[in-house]
Structure 1
């Protein structure tokens, strides 16, 4: 279906995340060491490289994986078109789409640096159902409910 193009982490919310080669994702928590991890429905954020490319086409320079504070940058998956409840196998993990898009908060560092943010429309958020490692280059597969 698709692949992991980047894994990104930050210790503070609302800032650009830094790339890492792999991450440990904990069931019902999220990416170990990330500010957004916790016992809530937006444990992991994902954004498609194709969405980032749309922003680049508007003339914004310097956009790369993590610039929109996403934990996982994907390639080959129209994430925002998948319904809430969709189960994904990402690397060793199984994650469930819990929310599509979000309201961009006031004072968002991404909006200040980039001028606008695509996460409110095309970013998705998942809950980690089954934890494990995710590495850059790992496959992303859509699962049927009975496979999860």
Structure 2
């Protein structure tokens, strides 16, 4: 299990939502990236140095400090959609390999590299910016029905990460809800 890329947003206009700017355009960066808890939602801060969110009512803060998505899932979507999806294409900060991100248990902890520890907090809930960014007709419905949302994580232990770092599951609740189960429950019961 490893980190394929660390992806930082490039600010761009957001014609898909009532927020003028978006940071969904995430691109892989070289070298180490500092990771630290951003504080409460509402500031635009996230867990990776150099990144931020602009829809501060719905994104960012400690419980959405980092968003991870599996390269294997991106590959499946490439086949299904007939699109090339680069690392970061879903707006994820971390593109992983060999990690069952959607099967992770809420509260599960991952060590990334030698020092950073992250904790799975919630599934990603798709929004209008994500729909517009991908530009696929019926995208939100397809994404929702697939129940492969990826996971938000909080920072437990700060430090630095970089592409190629090993990812290790260091703690996993025995009876917890998976990211996929939490997504299903939220999307079918409204939260």
Q: TM-score, normalised by structure 2?
A: 0.66
The equivalent of 2:124 in structure 1 is: 101
Work out the CA distance in 1 between the residues paired with 2:52 and 2:101.
Answer: 22
2:10–2:27 CA contact under 8 A, matched in 1: no
Q: Mark the runs of 5 or more structure 2 residues left unpaired by the alignment.
A: 12-21, 40-46, 54-58, 173-191
- The structure showing larger relative contact order (alpha-carbon pairs under 8 Å, at least 6 residues apart) is 1
The correspondence for 1:87, drawn from 98, 109, 123, is: 109
Q: After the TM superposition, which parts of structure 1 deviate over 4 Å for at least 4 consecutive aligned residues?
A: 117-120
Q: Which has more radius of gyration? A: 2
Residues paired across the two proteins, number: 142
1:11–1:35 CA contact under 8 A, matched in 2: no
The equivalent of 1:69 in structure 2 is: 91
1:7–1:72 CA contact under 8 A, matched in 2: yes
| Pair 1:32 & 2:42 matched | no
Deviation sequence 1:49-100 (CA, Å, 0-9, x none): 0100111111422211011100000000111101100010012310000002
Q: CA 1:38–1:58 in 2, change beyond 3 Å: closer, same or farther?
A: closer
| Pair 1:139 & 2:139 matched | no
| Pair 1:52 & 2:71 matched | no
Q: Mark the runs of 5 or more structure 1 residues left unpaired by the alignment.
A: none
SS state of the match for residue 80, structure 1? Answer: coil
The equivalent of 2:27 in structure 1 is: 18
1:93–1:133 CA contact under 8 A, matched in 2: yes
Aligned-CA RMSD value: 2.3
